[in-house]
A and B are shown apart, each in its own frame.
Chain A
Amino acid sequence: MVAKTDELLLKVDELHTEFTVGKRRVQAVNGVSFEVRRGRTLGIVGESGCGKSATAHSILQLLPKHGGIAGGSVTYYKDGKDIALSALPRNSSQLRAIRGKEISMIFQDPMASLNPVYTIGNQICENVLQHEAIGRKAARARAADMLTQLGIPLAASRLDDYPHQFSGGMKQRAMIAMAMICNPQLLIADEPTTALDVTIQAQILELMKKVQQDFGTSIILITHNMGIVSDMADDIAVMYMGKVVEYGTVREVLKTPRHPYTRALLKSVPLPGLNKSERLATIPGSTPDPSEMPPGCPFAPRCGLASDVCREEPPEVELGGHHRARCWHTGEGA
């Protein structure tokens, strides 16, 4: 088992990402900062539309054509050097050398993420062949090995299957195999279990833990599910309307949540050992339209603690360690 370290692997600083919708520009990510440390898992949680997926896609610049990084930086630390990923042109060879090799990514819907017209083996090998001087045969052996490790029986013979011959859970295993085959430092998983059956979800999450233990990979896990984060993550970033509203270790954030939104999220899901005695609550209201954002704190219209001061941009309050929250009322209502 690789130890959880404090060594910095990836730093996202004041990231802004914009999309052009018609003639308007929409801010999907609005000044997001966080760090990923070697061997640790960062969970990014938030409701749909909070910009967590856009954040993840910004790291490798895999945004759709009408989206792009508008400000801030993404820095990747490799052997003591730091590489500014956000400064590299999209699809440039320097960025491509990172994609799949150093940082790889898996997506929400494994059915849609695999190309239907190529065999699983072809698609997994493609990644190694792109990044390493290795023969087809050796690549195939690596792919089979990887699939076996991920619990696919008779892996060697299944390499010649097409995606439609795989079940949903097996497809996601194949995606993880594809992402892990070059032994990357960081795996970004964008809602990796949302499209799967509940029973399969647990298997995939266990698998990701195993991968992390075996390879020492850092993981960014994006999800809307607090339960998954509490189970998987070492650190948590809670996002709301394109901003990180609370950030800290799993202990800090789950045991002593300081942002009202985090508390509301925690109250809305059953978490083992945390809120057994309480009744589940819903968060009143809905997320505002990104084009009609209220001034100041975007959560104020739905917040029980909101006061006049919330019409001003809330400060980032340092709460000891890495723990911080973006709120005027971090001291209240606990």
Chain B
Amino acid sequence: MRDVFKYFTFRFLSIIPMLLLVIVIIFAGLQLTPGDPLAYMIPPEQLGSADFDIEAYKKAMGLDAPVYIQFFQWFGDLLQGELGFSLVDGSAISKMLANRLPATLELAFAALAVSSVLGILLGLVSSIRQNSAVDYGNTALGVLGISVPEFFVGIIAIQVFAITLGWLPVSGRIGYGDVTFFDRIDYLVMPALVLGFSLTAALMRYTRGTMLDVLGKDYVKTARSKGLPEWKVITKHAFRNALMPVVLLLVFRLPLLIGGTVIIESVFGWPGMGGMLLDAVSAKDYPVVMICTMLVAFMVLLASFLVDLLTALLDPRVRFE
């Protein structure tokens, strides 16, 4: 296990330069926006007061300093959680995020969990029962998954499960509070499944492919030659190896999933970061857009770090590199 730990530390340290790069890019993006680039860092109540002298304030805050000093000031603020204020309604970006981010994370994780389990399971069944009815059904699902736009899947789901059948609420989300988990999960089911739909299909197709590939490998034959029962050959020897490329596919698909939250949140009225980003884009609220972007980039980095760890756990060859 020590090699795993060493690998973890190494991977973790290696994402720090990427984090810094993202922060620099975001700062550059803010500098490029029209108007006073860092004026959004001024609290709105000060801007509103009658005797507020913007020039004096800027001087006091170092906003007239050279760009690199401004950068370090801004970076320092970031580290203390001061993310500035929206240009539109003057509310603190950190507060907006505190309201919105948990909803998006909840949705993304639910979708990721459901589609990983479902996609891999279906792919596994497909590969073992090749050319069966289940396999053909899965192939059809796979084709739909890459062709039907997710918002259309969402609209159909609303029409069928919420309006016609009345099983699930049309839209919205219940915040944390004294409601039970089961009260809240009703609202999560549809958005999570729809968001994970295309990922499920992709994972299914891919798992099927890699399983078929692995089942033809010599070490599977070795396992059979030892007299192991077929279920053990498939789970212990084949599946474990097929899982590694599938996890890699997950890395490539994660950005798509995170991006998809924007659309799915809009379809289901899910009060997450997607809606916040959309409003900000429509209103040209640059600081909010940039801070959201930064967070998304962090999420992507974190997600691919986690996936890296998973691959290292799965494949001894990776962690000895």
Question: Is A115 an interface residue when CB atoms closer than 8 A count as contact?
Answer: yes
Closest to A161 in B: B316
Report the minimal beta-carbon distance from B128 to chain A, rounded to whole angstroms: 11
Closest to A64 in B: B216
Report the minimal beta-carbon distance from B263 to chain A, rounded to whole angstroms: 38
Q: What residues of chain B lie closer than 8 Å to A65, measured between beta carbons?
A: 215
Q: Give the distance in Å from the alpha carbon of A105 to the alpha carbon of B219 in the complex.
A: 12
Question: Is A117 an interface residue when CB atoms closer than 8 A count as contact?
Answer: yes
Given contacts A96-B228, A101-B227, A164-B320, A117 and B314 within 8 Å (CB-CB): yes
Closest to A124 in B: B226
Residue of B224, B227, B237 with highest tally of chain A CB at under 10 A? B227
**Given B221, B227, B230, B315, which contacts A131 in the complex, CB threshold below 8 Å?**
B227
Question: Is A97 an interface residue when CB atoms closer than 8 A count as contact?
Answer: yes
Report the minimal beta-carbon distance from B56 to chain A, rounded to whole angstroms: 65
Question: Is A307 an interface residue when CB atoms closer than 8 A count as contact?
Answer: no
Q: What residues of chain A lie closer than 8 Å to B230, measured between beta carbons?
A: 91
Q: Would you give the 0/1 interface string for B209-228, flagging 1 where the beta carbon is closer than 8 Å to chain A?
A: 00000011111011111111
Chain B residues 136 to 181 lying within 8 A of chain A, measured CB to CB, are none
Q: What residues of chain A lie closer than 8 Å to B218, measured between beta carbons?
A: 107, 109, 112-113
Q: Give the distance in Å from the alpha carbon of A175 to the alpha carbon of B225 in the complex.
A: 11
Question: Is A127 an interface residue when CB atoms closer than 8 A count as contact?
Answer: yes
Closest to A126 in B: B226
Given contacts A64-B216, A109-B218, A116-B241, A127 and B226 within 8 Å (CB-CB): yes
Q: Is the CB of B219 within 8 A of A114?
A: yes
Closest to B221 in A: A62
Report the minimal beta-carbon distance from B1 to chain A, rounded to whole angstroms: 11
Q: What residues of chain A lie closer than 8 Å to B217, measured between beta carbons?
A: 112
Q: Would you give the 0/1 interface string for A101-142, flagging 1 where the beta carbon is closer than 8 Å to chain B?
A: 100110101001111110000010011001100000000000
Instruction: For the complex, count residues of B whose C-beta is within 8 A of A.
Output: 24
Closest to A119 in B: B316
Q: Is the CB of B240 within 8 A of A100?
A: no
Question: Is B59 an interface residue when CB atoms closer than 8 A count as contact?
Answer: no
Report the minimal beta-carbon distance from B107 to chain A, rounded to whole angstroms: 33
**Given A97, A104, A107, A116, which contacts B221 in the complex, CB threshold below 8 Å?**
A107
Q: Is the CB of B316 within 8 A of A130?
A: no
Report the minimal beta-carbon distance from A218 to chain B, rounded to whole angstroms: 16
**Given B222, B227, B240, B320, which contacts A113 in the complex, CB threshold below 8 Å?**
B222
Q: Is the CB of A97 within 8 A of B227?
A: yes
Chain B residues 213 to 256 lying within 8 A of chain A, measured CB to CB, are 215-219, 221-230, 237, 240-241, 244
Q: Give the distance in Å from the alpha carbon of A64 to the alpha carbon of B215 in the complex.
A: 9
Given contacts A64-B216, A113-B219, A115-B219, A104 and B316 within 8 Å (CB-CB): no
Chain A residues 152 to 175 lying within 8 A of chain B, measured CB to CB, are 162, 164-165, 175
Closest to A123 in B: B222
Q: Is the CB of A130 within 8 A of B227?
A: yes
Closest to A162 in B: B316
Q: Give the number of A-B contacts (CB < 8 Å).
A: 78
Q: Give the distance in Å from the alpha carbon of A202 to the alpha carbon of B222 in the complex.
A: 23
Question: Is A241 an interface residue when CB atoms closer than 8 A count as contact?
Answer: no
Q: Give the distance in Å from the alpha carbon of A101 to the alpha carbon of B228 in the complex.
A: 11
Q: Give the distance in Å from the alpha carbon of A120 to the alpha carbon of B40 in the complex.
A: 61
Q: Is the CB of A99 within 8 A of B317?
A: no
Question: Is A98 an interface residue when CB atoms closer than 8 A count as contact?
Answer: yes
Q: Is the CB of B317 within 8 A of A104?
A: no
Q: Give the distance in Å from the alpha carbon of A84 to the alpha carbon of B221 in the complex.
A: 21
Question: Is A222 an interface residue when CB atoms closer than 8 A count as contact?
Answer: no
Q: What residues of chain B lie closer than 8 Å to A91, measured between beta carbons?
A: 224, 229-230
Q: Give the distance in Å from the alpha carbon of A100 to the alpha carbon of B219 in the complex.
A: 14
Report the minimal beta-carbon distance from B238 to chain A, rounded to whole angstroms: 9
Q: Give the distance in Å from the alpha carbon of A117 to the alpha carbon of B217 in the complex.
A: 14
Q: What residues of chain B lie closer than 8 Å to A62, measured between beta carbons?
A: 221, 224-225
Q: Is the CB of B227 within 8 A of A107?
A: no
Report the minimal beta-carbon distance from B225 to chain A, rounded to whole angstroms: 5
Q: Give the distance in Å from the alpha carbon of A308 to the alpha carbon of B228 in the complex.
A: 52
Q: Is the CB of B226 within 8 A of A115?
A: no
Q: Is the CB of A98 within 8 A of B317?
A: no
Q: Is the CB of B225 within 8 A of A117?
A: no
Q: Is the CB of B224 within 8 A of A99?
A: yes
Report the minimal beta-carbon distance from A63 to chain B, rounded to whole angstroms: 9
Q: What residues of chain A lie closer than 8 Å to B228, measured between beta carbons?
A: 96, 100, 126, 130
Q: Is the CB of A164 within 8 A of B227?
A: no
Question: Is A150 an interface residue when CB atoms closer than 8 A count as contact?
Answer: no
**Given A60, A100, A117, A127, which contacts B315 in the complex, CB threshold below 8 Å?**
A117
**Given B221, B224, B240, which contacts A117 in the complex, CB threshold below 8 Å?**
B240
**Given A64, A93, A97, A114, which contacts B222 in the complex, CB threshold below 8 Å?**
A114
Chain B residues 281 to 321 lying within 8 A of chain A, measured CB to CB, are 314-317, 320
Q: Is the CB of A100 within 8 A of B225?
A: yes
Q: Give the distance in Å from the alpha carbon of A209 to the alpha carbon of B237 in the complex.
A: 31
Question: Is A239 an interface residue when CB atoms closer than 8 A count as contact?
Answer: no
Q: Give the distance in Å from the alpha carbon of A117 to the alpha carbon of B223 in the complex.
A: 13
Q: What residues of chain A lie closer than 8 Å to B223, measured between beta carbons?
A: 115, 126
Closest to A93 in B: B229
Known: A100-B228, A107-B221. 8 other contacts (CB 8 A): A62-B225, A93-B229, A104-B226, A112-B219, A113-B221, A117-B240, A162-B317, A164-B316
Taking Cβ atoms with an 8 Å cutoff, the residues of A that contact B are 60, 62, 64-65, 91, 93, 96-101, 104-105, 107, 109, 112-117, 123, 126-127, 130-131, 162, 164-165, 175, 178-179
Closest 3 CB pairs of A and B: A99-B227, A100-B226, A112-B218
A-B residue pairs in contact (CB < 8 Å), sample of 19? A62-B221, A96-B227, A99-B224, A99-B227, A101-B227, A105-B225, A107-B218, A112-B218, A113-B221, A115-B237, A116-B219, A116-B241, A116-B315, A117-B316, A130-B226, A130-B228, A162-B320, A164-B316, A164-B320
